[in-house]
Amino acid sequence: MITGAFMVPHPPLIIPEVGRGKERKIQDTIDAYHEVGIKIGQLKPETIILISPHQVMYADYFHISPGRQAEGDFKQFGAYEVKMEVSYDTDFVENLCRMAETSGLQAGILGERDKQLDHGTLVPLYFINKYWKEYDLVRVGLSGLSLTAHYELGQLIGETAKMLGKNVVIIASGDLSHRLKEDGPYGYHREGAEYDRCIMEAMGSGDFGKLLEFSEDICEKAGECGHRSFTIMAGALDSTKVEAKQISYEGPFGVGYGICTYNTCGQDLNRNFKDQYEEKERKRIFKLRQLEDEYVRLARHAVEEYVRSGKKIKALEGISWEMYGSRAGVFVSIKKEGSLRGCMGTICASRPSIADEIIENAVSAASRDPRFSPIKAEELDMLAISVDVLGDAEKIDSLDKLDVKRYGVIVTKGYKRGLLLPNLEGVDTVKEQIAIAKRKAGIGEHENVQLERFEVVRHY
pLDDT in tens, 61-83: 999 999 999 999 999 999 989 99
| Res 184 pLDDT > 90 | no
Name the pLDDT band for 371 (thresholds 50, 70, 90): confident
pLDDT of residue 320: 85
- 349-376: average pLDDT: 95
> 334: which strand partners?
342, 385
In the sheet that holds 408-413, the strands lie side by side as 394-396, 450-454, 408-413, 416-420
pLDDT band at 391 (very low <50, low <70, confident <90, very high): very high
pLDDT tens digits, 88-135: 999 999 999 999 999 999 999 999 988 999 999 999 999 999 999 999
pLDDT of residue 317: 67
Neighbours of 24 (CB within 10 A): 9
pLDDT for res 457: 95
| Residue 359 confidence class, pLDDT cut points 50, 70, 90 | very high
pLDDT at 241 over 90: yes
Q: What is the pLDDT of residue 247?
A: 98
- Amino acid making up residue 166: K
Crossing angle of helices 147-164/90-103, nearest 10°? 130
Under the banding of pLDDT at 50, 70 and 90, the label for residue 185 is: confident
Q: Give the pLDDT confidence score for residue 360 in this predicted structure.
A: 96
Q: Give every CB contact of residue 309 below 8 A, 6+ residues apart in sequence.
A: none
Of residues 314 and 207, the one with the higher pLDDT is 207
Per-residue pLDDT at 211? 97
Residue 347, exposed/middle/buried by CB under 10 A (0-12, 13-18, 19+)? Answer: middle
R_g over Cα of the chain: 24
State which of 147-156, 310-319, 389-398 shows the largest mean pLDDT.
147-156
pLDDT higher than threshold 90 for residue 314: no
Question: E strands of 144-275, at which residues?
Answer: 168-173, 240-250, 257-267
Cα dist. 106→152, 267, 275, 321, 405 in Å?
A: 11, 28, 20, 44, 37
Task: Indicate the pLDDT class of residue 217, thresholds 50, 70 and 90.
Answer: confident
> Can you give the pTM of this predicted structure?
0.88
Query: Do the Cβ atoms of 125 and 139 come closer than 8 Å?
Result: no
Query: What was the pLDDT predicted at 319?
Result: 82
Q: Is the pLDDT of residue 316 over 80?
A: no
Q: What is the mean pLDDT of residues 274-296?
A: 95
pLDDT at 70: 97
pLDDT tier at 428, thresholds 50, 70, 90: confident
Burial class (CB in 10 A: 0-12, 13-18, 19+), 10: buried
Range 391-410 average pLDDT: 93
Percent of the chain with pLDDT over 90: 88
Give the pLDDT confidence of 342-351 residue by residue, as tens digits: 999 999 999 9
**C-alpha 356, offset from chain centre:** 33
